[in-house]
């Protein structure tokens, strides 16, 4: 949609993260849209608001003052961060600059503590100035500094930066320039595997990063980079990749598998997530790694009715089986606090139809409200075909318009503002916005060789 976002989209993002189990949002290094903070206020999500530059110049202090004055009455804000990974963060110059900034914040708002997102020089410079020690990565530094400063509150201001492509499970090993990490995926398509095994050499996988927080009760928590994929920083690739792959969700907000890892350990709701998909023609008899993210006590895996064994789940971990591929049905059965859960993954048929699922079927006729329409490519039994890439054309009639399309593919160069979008691993997205008129909005989706679909949205 570009950068002029309808207000509701801010709320959608916060709500999706809250449903995952997150209870706090660290802002990027600039003033956020007020509507985002309004959404956090309403939904009860805590906010770490962050300034951009570390400096004591009049210009930077004026920017900091603008941030605090504008946003200090948002109840969601619980911390002010004075900077992110700045060059002088561990030096005496940085400490002097930080003192001026903290002094200004305390004059404008004496009710909230201060922090800084530090990725080097930890224990020096800004450490002597801020109220809460922030760590960007480097979990190896937690214990030593806690020994030195046992009474200091600690917060992991940035963790993980694990990378993964939604719905991709290729396991070719490769490396990229300027990075010593070995990745798994499909480098020819700029895709990294969605198994939780990929992170740059300066970062950690989700499991490694979160365990380092969860196992230390004196760590207040950790902010994962990042909630959603975004344009730019296409790590570990370069062009023709065009968006990051750090997100727990892709650019459309479709969950990656890692979403369910966090939901397992950040929420109280029962979680049993089984992956990968089970469409592997030509791989009969080959071993496919099968993973489960869950907070069940035990999980048993079945293939076509045959048990492949049960495993006990360790806290903040996952389960794995190596399964010789045969088409059919994978079933995971879990027990949690005496309750039984079950989830399945089927080998699907070929793409046969389009399914449309608006997240809202009633909009306000005010010229700004939106409905996010999930588009699935399904087989003749209505099951999402997990490898489908069919191109879908949209037509909208009535008092509304199509304002954006996407598919979460980090290497897709199709227009986000067009009337057409290819599915990526079974999914794409269409965003409908109401006009100022009342009435019925109809959206129709078509693709050669597939049964078309239609959905109705009412503008009131």
- Measured CA to CA, the distance from residue 361 to residue 44 in angstroms comes to 25
- Measured CA to CA, the distance from residue 155 to residue 219 in angstroms comes to 6
Question: Residues 50, 88, 158, 204: which is the catalytic one?
Answer: 158
Structure tokens of 384?
Answer: 């999402």
Structure tokens of 389?
Answer: 């890439």
- Measured CA to CA, the distance from residue 191 to residue 120 in angstroms comes to 30
- Measured CA to CA, the distance from residue 207 to residue 199 in angstroms comes to 11
| Cβ atoms 418, 380 nearer than 8 A | no
Q: Can 35 be counted among the known catalytic residues?
A: no
Tell me which residue has tokens 């023709």. Answer: 240
CA 300 to chain centre: 28
- Measured CA to CA, the distance from residue 304 to residue 318 in angstroms comes to 22
Helix axes 7-20, 34-43, angle to 10 degrees: 40
| Cβ atoms 420, 443 nearer than 8 A | no
| Cβ atoms 356, 375 nearer than 8 A | yes
Q: Is 128 left (phi over 0), alpha (psi -120 to 50) or beta?
A: alpha
Q: Can 204 be counted among the known catalytic residues?
A: no
| Cβ atoms 61, 107 nearer than 8 A | no
| Cβ atoms 386, 426 nearer than 8 A | yes
Question: Residues 85, 233, 300, 446: which is the catalytic one?
Answer: 85
- Hey, is 82 helix, strand or coil? strand
Q: Which of 3, 19, 26, 4 is nearest to 359 (CA)?
A: 19
Dihedral over alpha carbons 171, 308, 291, 354 (to 10 degrees): 90
Strand partners for 357: 374
- Measured CA to CA, the distance from residue 331 to residue 334 in angstroms comes to 10
306-312 and 319-324 strand pairing: unpaired
DSSP state string for 24-87: EEE--SSPPPHHHHHHHHHHT-EEEEE-S----SHHHHHHHHHHHHHHTT-TTEEEEEEEES-T
Residues catalogued as catalytic: 85, 158
């Amino acid at each position: 949609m570009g950068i002029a976002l309808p207000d509701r989209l801010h709320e959608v993002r916060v709500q999706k993260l809250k449903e995952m189990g997150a209870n706090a949002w660290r802002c990027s290094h600039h003033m956020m849209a007020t509507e985002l903070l309004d959404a956090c206020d309403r939904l009860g999500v805590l906010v770490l608001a962050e300034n951009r530059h570390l400096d004591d110049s009049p210009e930077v202090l004026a920017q900091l003052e603008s941030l605090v004055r504008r946003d200090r009455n948002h109840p969601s804000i619980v911390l002010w961060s004075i900077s992110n990974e700045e060059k002088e963060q561990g030096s005496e110059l940085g400490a002097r600059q930080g003192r001026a900034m903290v002094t200004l914040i305390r004059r404008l708002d004496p009710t909230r503590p201060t922090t800084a997102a530090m990725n080097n020089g930890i224990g020096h410079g800004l450490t002597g100035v801020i109220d809460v020690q922030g760590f960007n990565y480097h979990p190896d530094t937690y214990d030593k500094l806690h020994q030195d400063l046992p009474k200091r509150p600690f917060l992991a201001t940035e963790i993980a930066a694990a990378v993964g492509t939604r719905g991709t499970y290729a396991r070719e090993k490769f490396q990229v320039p300027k990075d010593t990490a070995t990745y798994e995926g499909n480098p020819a398509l700029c895709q990294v595997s969605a198994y939780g095994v990929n992170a740059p050499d300066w970062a950690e996988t989700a499991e490694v990063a979160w365990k380092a927080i969860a196992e230390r009760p004196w760590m207040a928590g950790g902010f994962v980079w990042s909630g959603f994929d975004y344009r730019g920083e296409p790590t570990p690739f370069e062009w023709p990749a065009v968006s990051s792959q750090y997100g727990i969700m892709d650019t459309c907000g479709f969950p990656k598998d890692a979403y369910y890892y966090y939901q397992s350990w950040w929420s109280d709701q029962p979680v049993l997530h089984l992956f990968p998909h089970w469409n592997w023609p030509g791989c009969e008899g080959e071993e496919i790694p099968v993973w489960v993210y869950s907070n069940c006590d035990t999980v048993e895996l079945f293939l076509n009715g045959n048990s492949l064994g049960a495993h006990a789940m360790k806290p903040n971990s996952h389960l794995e089986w190596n399964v010789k591929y045969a088409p059919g049905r994978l079933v995971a059965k879990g027990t949690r606090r005496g309750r039984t859960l079950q989830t399945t993954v089927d080998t699907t048929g070929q793409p046969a139809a389009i399914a449309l699922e608006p997240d809202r079927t009633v909009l306000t006729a005010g010229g700004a409200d939106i409905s996010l329409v999930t588009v699935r490519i399904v087989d003749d039994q209505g099951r999402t075909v997990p490898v489908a890439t069919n191109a879908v054309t949209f037509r909208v009639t009535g008092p509304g318009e199509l304002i954006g399309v996407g598919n979460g593919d980090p290497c897709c160069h199709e227009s986000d503002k067009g009337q057409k979008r290819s599915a990526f691993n079974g999914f794409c997205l269409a965003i409908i916005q109401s006009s100022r008129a009342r009435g019925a909005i109809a959206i129709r989706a078509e693709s050669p060789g597939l049964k078309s679909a239609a959905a109705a949205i009412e503008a009131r």
